[in-house]
Amino acid sequence: MSTTILAIESSCDETAASVCRDGKILSNIIAGQKVHEQYGGVVPELASRAHIQNIVPVVEKAIVDAGLSAGVPIAIGTKAGCRIQDMDAIAFTQSPGLIGSLLVGAQFAKSLALSINKPLIALHHMQAHVLANLIEEPKPDFPFLCLTVSGGHTQIVLCESPIEMKVIGETIDDAAGEAFDKTAKMLGLPYPGGPLIDKYAQQGNPDRFQFPEPQIPGLDFSFSGLKTSILYFLQNAGKTNVYKVEFKVSEVEKKKFINDNLADICASIQQRIITILLNKLKSAAIQTNINNICIAGGVSANSGLRKAFGETGKKYKWKTFIPKLEYCTDNAAMIAVAGYYKYLAGQFDDLSVSASARAKW
Ligand code: KG4
Ligand code: ZN
């Protein structure tokens, strides 16, 4: 007997739905939200409204594209081929994220589960990022370590099974994605700046400028010092020690310095973020004696990190795993696969389950 899961993801500014059968992705639909571009960041209230507009067509398309069977239109859709009755469970992102956005997905999933009398499965967004590594072959054997790097989180996760995970290191301040996005903002780049830093870095010299590596004990990370050092560095147009505001150049001179050196600045910042991440991952591998190692989350789409991770893996004889790009940034396929494993473990939630902005791990 096969198991088919419909999953909904709405934790931030992407409305996404996916159908998976026995862990294999049959459809993966994402609607982005352009409305935030003019504000330089995600506006929570606008995100919730856009989710409400997007959720019916996105879920409907995910079911139709899954192509499970022809025929009977369903309550929420009108197209033939859209068979909600074929689903064995409805999975959704419960936390963490923007509460208004999460509530749209949660309420929709609950209503759907109630209407077809099928079980409901609530998922942790960051755990689902980790399990994106189980979507395609080759999959890591358990136990594995996962460096999960997103817009709001930076974690090293020890994964014993699809339903047993432990955070063994995490950021004490900014996340890696925030480090990318905030420094991109200082460089005058639009939100989200991570992909743009990646793009400019590809033409730059990563050794041209030196930024400090924080000395944080254990497996935890910190990115706020790096952010400050980049701020001072830009304020003095790279003329003096990057740790101090010894003097400030004029805005015009600062802009000129950035324009003239953008590729090298991006490459140097990116290289430092990558070395901070990979040095901690190396320590985690030594400490746990685990050599199946994955990366996940939006920042794992970074071309420099993907390359450096592969090279580090070769050097230390790790078996390395990186999800396909579309499964790194926010998506519902990872929610579907995480939901599938919870289904197999018989872990269901009742209709009283509520969305939560902050999640217990
Ligand atoms: O996982 P994700 O899509 O959403 C959250 O759960 O937060 O991660 C979004 C983060 C943003 O900070 C974005 O700038 C970053 O991932 N990101 C990248 C790249 N693509 C996305 N950062 C660096 N290089 C990229 N290519
Ligand atoms: Zn995410």
CA–CA dist 162, 274 (Å, integer) = 27
Ligand 1: does its nearest atom lie under 6 Å from the Cβ of 200? no
Q: Which residues contact 286 (CB under 8 A, 6 or more apart)?
A: none
CA distances to 168, 179, 210, 219, 315 from 284, rounded to whole Å, are: 8, 21, 25, 7, 15
CA–CA dist 106, 84 (Å, integer) = 17
| Pair of tokens at residue 342 | 């919870």
Ligand 1: does its nearest atom lie under 6 Å from the Cβ of 119? no
DSSP-H helix ranges across the chain: 44-66, 99-116, 125-131, 176-186, 194-201, 224-235, 251-288, 303-316, 325-328, 333-344
**What residue's CA is closest to ligand 1, atom 1?**
298
Ligand closest in space to the Cα of 269: 1
Ligand 1: does its nearest atom lie under 6 Å from the Cβ of 337? no
Ligand closest in space to the Cα of 181: 1
Ligand 1: does its nearest atom lie under 6 Å from the Cβ of 330? yes
Name the 3-class secondary structure at 122. strand
| Pair of tokens at residue 49 | 């409204």
CA distances to 55, 90, 359 from 128, rounded to whole Å, are: 20, 15, 13
Ligand 1: does its nearest atom lie under 6 Å from the Cβ of 274? no
Sheet containing 15-21, strands listed edge to edge, beginning at the edge strand earlier in sequence:
24-31, 15-21, 4-9, 89-95, 120-124
CA 335 / ligand 1 centre spacing (Å): 17
Strands 4-9, 15-21: pairing kind: antiparallel
Q: Which of 199, 299, 300 for a ligand 1 pocket mutation test, highest count of atoms within 8 Å of Cβ?
A: 299
User: Over its length of 361 residues, how does the chain's per-residue pLDDT go in tens digits?
Assistant: 899 999 999 999 999 999 999 999 999 999 999 888 888 889 999 999 999 999 999 999 999 899 875 444 444 544 555 578 889 999 999 999 999 999 999 999 999 999 999 999 999 999 999 999 999 999 999 999 999 999 999 999 999 999 999 999 999 999 999 999 999 999 999 989 999 999 999 999 999 999 999 999 999 999 999 999 999 999 999 887 767 777 899 999 999 999 999 999 999 999 999 999 999 999 999 999 999 999 999 999 999 999 999 999 999 999 999 999 999 999 999 999 999 999 999 999 999 999 999 987 7
CA 298 / ligand 1 centre spacing (Å): 3
User: Is the bond into 119 cis (omega within 30 degrees of 0)?
Assistant: no
Ligand 1: does its nearest atom lie under 6 Å from the Cβ of 198? yes
**What residue's CA is closest to ligand 1, atom 16?**
298
Residue 298 φ/ψ, nearest 5 degrees: -50, -40
Name the 3-class secondary structure at 17. strand
Ligand 1 atom nearest to CA at 270: 23
Q: Pick from 60, 51, 58: which is nearest to 29 by CA?
A: 58
| Pair of tokens at residue 315 | 């050097």
Specify the amino acid at residue 245. Answer: V
User: pTM of the predicted model, to two decimals?
Assistant: 0.95
